[in-house]
Chains A and B, each alone.
Chain A
Amino acid sequence: MNAAPDVPAADAKDERLEPRLQGALREMLTSNWLVTVAALLLALVVSAVLIAAADEDVHTTAGYLFARPADFLSAVWDSVWGAYVALFQGAIVDPTAATFTKAIRPLTETMTWSVPLILAGLGLSVGFRAGLFNIGAQGQIILGAIFGGYIGFAFGLPPVLHLLLAIIAAALGGAIWAGIAGFLKARTGANEVIVTIMLNNIAVYLVAYLLTLTAFKRPGSNNPQSPAIEGTAVYPQLLGDGFRLHAGFLLAILATVFVWWLMDRSTLGFQFRAVGANPSAARTAGININRIYLLVMLTSGALAGLAGSAQVLGTEKVLTAGVAASFGFDAITVALLGRSKPLGTFLAGLLFGALRAGGFAMQARTGTPIDIVLVVQSLVVLFIAAPPLVRAVFRLPSPGRRKQVSPTPAPVTKEAAA
């Protein structure tokens, strides 16, 4: 951080008191929530351009745009509106569905998709707040799935114990994988961005390799997949067999609370945050930076490993090469949208889970490829990261001190940052 001139200590009392209502309105207009919503809107609008641009009807009507502009406009509208309606119906509620259960199914799909996103996002948020760019969620999810899955299908154990052991194993797998990067960073100063990305690729090949070994192969199947997870090791369904929602969602909630406590109430989290904000000052205050780097990565990886458990023991109930899907990178966007705070990450996980659930429905119904969801996701994150941009587009006021007329300007110390 370059040294900006220090702002003097403000006077305790504000000179002018605004009427309450105006103050509240101003609060709302400058709040981060509004910026988040605005960013989402902006992202949807920009993505709409892509949706329209790829639509057949739009192409045809564009050909005679000037003769009959109304056709073009309605084609654009149809394509975009159709896509977004399908998105909504796939993500929240489907009013056109026959039964009540079918109508609320989308919501449960959203929740199911959000579980690995929340868990992995929490893991990454811990890393980000400690100043470590853990891009390796994909690999850590895979390793978690491998460890958890193996316990799940290779052993027969009593019900609750089996699931618990599998979950712990998954956390362990993810922790170890991330721990490699943490260890290298602590010992050699290796750039964790590159190491975690490399470990992602290695993990992908590792799981493919393991699935060729007899220990991991499902007998009698030509597809590379593991034996089915034992019934004693799967997450129980929360709403019965009609829905995919499983107890992993409860784990996600627990994890959110845990991460909040860890980062904001525990001495360990204090150290994590100090190292993330200013490693030199943390060192001078006696914090062991290298130990913290390792612990951060272990924690981060463990949470991502739990996301792997949600996949292999909850949704898929089998270990395959594609077990991590694209959750790895999605989790990064979740953590960023949630500004690396626990509650924000939870909500962001739900939002992106909704986008994914809705995206599949949108792809099925309107033929819009699911890749557009990636576009929306990354645009939202970019806009969120640049509040001034969003504010400029929507002409929202910026927060911060109203002009104060201080009676005596305090001395300014300009620490020149050479």
Chain B
Amino acid sequence: MKLELRGITKRFGTLVANDHIDLVVEPGEIHALLGENGAGKSTLMNVLYGFYDPDEGEILVDDQPVEFAGPGDAMAAGIGMVHQHFMLVPVFTVAENVVLGYEPTKSAGLIDLPEARRRVKEISDRFGFDVDPDAMVEDLPVGAQQRVEIIKALSRDAKVLILDEPTAVLTPQETDELIAIMRQLKAAGTSIVFITHKLREVRAVADRITVIRRGKVVGSADPQSAETELASLMVGRSVSLGVDRAPAQPGEVALQVRDLSVLDDAGVRQVDAISFDVARGEIVAIAGVQGNGQTELTEVILGLQPALAGSVRLDGKELLGRSVKQVLTAGVGFVPEDRTEDGIVAEFSVAENLILDLYDTPAFAKGISLDPAKVRANAEQRTVEFDVRTPSIEAPAGTLSGGNQQKVVLAREMSRPLRLLIASQPTRGLDVGSIEFVHKRIVAERDSGTPVIIVSTELDEVLDLADRIVVMYRGRIVGTVPGGTDRDVLGLMMAGVPQEEAVKQAASHHTVLGEADIVAEKESE
């Protein structure tokens, strides 16, 4: 099935998310849509999928114009989508999620469960997924949930499959498996549109690449193009790939984690007797696939969750058992994983957000009374220092872009002397400019002597920033490796393979992305 988008324009208020975009996807082609966060890729795909109505332009299927009133029409036309943030109802089973909207029914509208299960099994077996149709989705690990998403899209005979940032939650080895599935589908005649902001993947997978920047198509490329060329197309200026940083000069050990264990509500150990150290002036990255205990680890250190056992000592003082406020006052800076949910208060002004955990300090309050002048002065200073773009310091923080919101969070945490900085997924969803800024500031914090912990599922970021890498899998530490470790080794460790074994395996078999790394290194020499 040939799919064409002509002149698609989509506006949200005054913002033009898609600006007269043309795109052609030939049958049986893997077509990559490359662009940084915020470029408009997801919006375009949501238009294609019928989720949004385009303001201008048309969609053609096999050279015939079509109009989609909603996702139902798009699915009926053979377009399936696997979303970046899974569209799965957590309290439903796999089968219920897969058939939602397309349910097989018996009399009186009752759902034919055996038939639903059969549908799941059929596709699952075809690709070797091994998914239980009656499992509750919220109990499944992230990788399995993605497979359910894929099954859902395929169960409606998709002829074009759109994958939105599918590798965000996968290890390099899992990415290899996904690539194998994509090639299987391609061989069967399904076209694939692959949305990503990761250069490495794109060159390894795509037949053709379309680059989008700020809502417009800025160029078409083939996989042979150099990485730097693709990067400048994507961002619009020359980009230095990787962070400039001086080698770390770690001082004495500041944070000592010993035998830390955390239980969740179901009594499962999300963190299982882990121990590690962080020294002053070094960046330790906690790497691992989402859902292996990293979130719980950071929350326990902050005091949001109680620990089952173990100790966390910062400069000799025990942090466990203290309230969040006490931990923050002890000099811990915390950049949460989900900035809109946990990082900022959208209704509060930028100025108020900048003192969200400082409102009762002498700098801003006399006893119980706030000093608005001091709050304003602080906001003016910090927004300049951290390059926060906002119409005014009184503007609600919810109106800022993601990158600026993250800068507000950073500004707040870094505006006091820190004994430890914890940053969880610090650049998730940010555009390249903001990513560069955030990385620079983190490195600067490290260079000023602060121990830094980064939690990231983005291997690129881990490889860029980390002085040492701690790999977590199922709540345990698989190994601790130095910063420049090979991507494939890391990937295997993220899947639970112990370090020595991982090194052996990686040496003998490179993944697609690992290969891409090697090629990129050669190119930059």
A and B touch in the complex (CB under 8 A): yes
Q: Mark A255-267, 1 if CB is under 8 A from B, else 0.
A: 0000000000111
Tell me whether B15 and A7 are in contact (CB under 8 A): yes
A20 within 8 A of B: no
Tell me whether A281 and B401 are in contact (CB under 8 A): no
Expressed in whole angstroms, the Cα–Cα distance for A411 and B431 within the complex equals: 7
- Report the 4 A-B pairs with minimum CB-CB distance, sorted nearest first: A413-B402, A418-B85, A286-B325, A411-B38
A413 cross-chain contacts in B, Cβ below 8 A: 37-38, 401-403, 429-431
Q: Which of A282, A284, A412 contacts B17 (CB 8 A)?
A: A412
B389 within 8 A of A: yes
B9 within 8 A of A: no
B473 within 8 A of A: no
Expressed in whole angstroms, the Cα–Cα distance for A394 and B14 within the complex equals: 26
User: Could you list 21 A-B pairs, sorted by A, with CB under 8 Å?
Assistant: A4-B12, A6-B402, A10-B391, A278-B346, A281-B342, A281-B344, A284-B304, A286-B323, A286-B325, A288-B325, A401-B14, A411-B36, A411-B214, A411-B401, A412-B38, A412-B401, A413-B37, A414-B43, A415-B340, A415-B402, A418-B85
Q: Mark A315-353, 1 if CB is under 8 A from B, else 0.
A: 000000000000000000000000000000000000000
Expressed in whole angstroms, the Cα–Cα distance for A401 and B87 within the complex equals: 33
B341 within 8 A of A: yes
Residues facing A in B425-468 (CB within 8 A) are 429-431, 433
- Looking at the assembled complex, report how far the CB atom of A407 sits from the nearest CB atom of chain B, in whole angstroms: 12
Given contacts A265-B370, A409-B214, A414-B43, contact A284 B343 (CB under 8 A): yes
17 other contacts beyond A283-B324, A413-B402, with CB at 8 A cut-off?
A5-B13, A6-B400, A9-B400, A265-B369, A267-B360, A267-B365, A267-B368, A270-B352, A274-B345, A274-B356, A284-B336, A285-B328, A286-B323, A412-B40, A413-B401, A416-B42, A418-B87
B interface residues, tally (CB under 8 Å): 63
Name the residue of chain B whose CB is nearest to the CB of A403: B14
- Looking at the assembled complex, report how far the CB atom of B299 sits from the nearest CB atom of chain A, in whole angstroms: 9
A3 within 8 A of B: yes
Chain A interface secondary structure, helix, strand, loop or mixed? loop
Tell me whether A9 and B401 are in contact (CB under 8 A): yes
B214 cross-chain contacts in A, Cβ below 8 A: 409, 411
A213 within 8 A of B: no
A280 within 8 A of B: yes
Name the residue of chain A whose CB is nearest to the CB of B357: A285
- Looking at the assembled complex, report how far the CB atom of B147 sits from the nearest CB atom of chain A, in whole angstroms: 17
A24 within 8 A of B: no
Expressed in whole angstroms, the Cα–Cα distance for A9 and B388 within the complex equals: 10
Q: Which of B39, B327, B343, B368 contacts A281 (CB 8 A)?
A: B343
B370 cross-chain contacts in A, Cβ below 8 A: 265-267, 270
B15 cross-chain contacts in A, Cβ below 8 A: 5, 7-8, 409, 412
Tell me whether A280 and B341 are in contact (CB under 8 A): yes
Tell me whether A416 and B344 are in contact (CB under 8 A): no
- Looking at the assembled complex, report how far the CB atom of B321 sits from the nearest CB atom of chain A, in whole angstroms: 15
Given contacts A406-B14, A411-B403, contact A287 B325 (CB under 8 A): yes
- Looking at the assembled complex, report how far the CB atom of A388 sits from the nearest CB atom of chain B, in whole angstroms: 16
Given contacts A277-B345, A413-B38, contact A286 B87 (CB under 8 A): no
B42 cross-chain contacts in A, Cβ below 8 A: 414, 416
Residues facing A in B403-430 (CB within 8 A) are 403-404, 429-430
Tell me whether B39 and A5 are in contact (CB under 8 A): no
A404 within 8 A of B: yes
Expressed in whole angstroms, the Cα–Cα distance for A8 and B429 within the complex equals: 15
A1 within 8 A of B: yes
Name the residue of chain A whose CB is nearest to the CB of B372: A265
- Looking at the assembled complex, report how far the CB atom of B400 sits from the nearest CB atom of chain A, in whole angstroms: 7
- Looking at the assembled complex, report how far the CB atom of B386 sits from the nearest CB atom of chain A, in whole angstroms: 14
B39 cross-chain contacts in A, Cβ below 8 A: 411
A190 within 8 A of B: no
Q: Which of B86, B344, B346, B348 contacts A418 (CB 8 A)?
A: B86
A17 within 8 A of B: no
B356 cross-chain contacts in A, Cβ below 8 A: 274, 281-282, 285
Tell me whether B342 and A270 are in contact (CB under 8 A): no
* A contacts, CB < 8 Å to B: 1, 3-10, 12, 265-268, 270-271, 273-274, 277-278, 280-288, 401, 403-404, 406, 409-418
B159 within 8 A of A: no
Expressed in whole angstroms, the Cα–Cα distance for A59 and B250 within the complex equals: 91
Expressed in whole angstroms, the Cα–Cα distance for A164 and B184 within the complex equals: 83
B31 within 8 A of A: no
Q: Mark B295-306, 1 if CB is under 8 A from A, else 0.
A: 000000010100
Name the residue of chain B whose CB is nearest to the CB of A276: B347
* B contacts, CB < 8 Å to A: 12-17, 36-40, 42-43, 83-87, 214-215, 302, 304, 323-325, 327-329, 334, 336, 340-348, 352, 356-357, 359-360, 365, 368-370, 372, 389-391, 398-404, 429-431, 433
Expressed in whole angstroms, the Cα–Cα distance for A7 and B397 within the complex equals: 11
Name the residue of chain A whose CB is nearest to the CB of B13: A7
Interface centre among B214, B368, B429 (most CB of A within 10 A): B368
Given contacts A9-B391, A10-B391, A412-B40, contact A266 B302 (CB under 8 A): no
Tell me whether B352 and A278 are in contact (CB under 8 A): no
A417 cross-chain contacts in B, Cβ below 8 A: 340
Q: Which of A5, A10, A271, A401 contacts B12 (CB 8 A)?
A: A5
B368 cross-chain contacts in A, Cβ below 8 A: 266-268
B391 cross-chain contacts in A, Cβ below 8 A: 9-10, 12
- Looking at the assembled complex, report how far the CB atom of B351 sits from the nearest CB atom of chain A, in whole angstroms: 12
Tell me whether B404 and A281 are in contact (CB under 8 A): no
A7 cross-chain contacts in B, Cβ below 8 A: 13-15, 399
B13 cross-chain contacts in A, Cβ below 8 A: 5, 7
Name the residue of chain A whose CB is nearest to the CB of B325: A286
Tell me whether B429 and A415 are in contact (CB under 8 A): yes
A283 cross-chain contacts in B, Cβ below 8 A: 304, 324, 342
Interface centre among B38, B302, B429 (most CB of A within 10 A): B38
- Looking at the assembled complex, report how far the CB atom of B120 sits from the nearest CB atom of chain A, in whole angstroms: 22
Tell me whether B87 and A284 are in contact (CB under 8 A): no
Given contacts A274-B345, A414-B43, contact A409 B16 (CB under 8 A): yes
A265 cross-chain contacts in B, Cβ below 8 A: 369-370, 372
- Looking at the assembled complex, report how far the CB atom of B183 sits from the nearest CB atom of chain A, in whole angstroms: 27
Expressed in whole angstroms, the Cα–Cα distance for A401 and B433 within the complex equals: 27
A1 cross-chain contacts in B, Cβ below 8 A: 346, 398
Name the residue of chain B whose CB is nearest to the CB of A284: B342
Expressed in whole angstroms, the Cα–Cα distance for A285 and B344 within the complex equals: 9
Q: Which of A4, A403, A410 contacts B389 (CB 8 A)?
A: A410
Expressed in whole angstroms, the Cα–Cα distance for A257 and B351 within the complex equals: 24
A282 cross-chain contacts in B, Cβ below 8 A: 345, 356
Expressed in whole angstroms, the Cα–Cα distance for A274 and B353 within the complex equals: 9
Expressed in whole angstroms, the Cα–Cα distance for A230 and B310 within the complex equals: 63
B369 cross-chain contacts in A, Cβ below 8 A: 265-267
- Looking at the assembled complex, report how far the CB atom of B54 sits from the nearest CB atom of chain A, in whole angstroms: 15
Name the residue of chain B whose CB is nearest to the CB of A286: B325
B357 cross-chain contacts in A, Cβ below 8 A: 285-286
A281 cross-chain contacts in B, Cβ below 8 A: 341-345, 356
- Looking at the assembled complex, report how far the CB atom of B452 sits from the nearest CB atom of chain A, in whole angstroms: 18
Expressed in whole angstroms, the Cα–Cα distance for A286 and B302 within the complex equals: 9
Q: Which of A12, A277, A412, A416 contacts B348 (CB 8 A)?
A: A277
Tell me whether B389 and A286 are in contact (CB under 8 A): no
Expressed in whole angstroms, the Cα–Cα distance for A281 and B15 within the complex equals: 28
Expressed in whole angstroms, the Cα–Cα distance for A413 and B407 within the complex equals: 14
Tell me whether B401 and A410 are in contact (CB under 8 A): yes
B343 cross-chain contacts in A, Cβ below 8 A: 281, 284
Name the residue of chain B whose CB is nearest to the CB of A405: B14
Tell me whether B359 and A409 are in contact (CB under 8 A): no
Expressed in whole angstroms, the Cα–Cα distance for A5 and B398 within the complex equals: 10
Expressed in whole angstroms, the Cα–Cα distance for A287 and B215 within the complex equals: 40
Given contacts A267-B368, A267-B370, A409-B214, contact A414 B38 (CB under 8 A): yes
B348 cross-chain contacts in A, Cβ below 8 A: 273-274, 277
- Looking at the assembled complex, report how far the CB atom of A22 sits from the nearest CB atom of chain B, in whole angstroms: 21
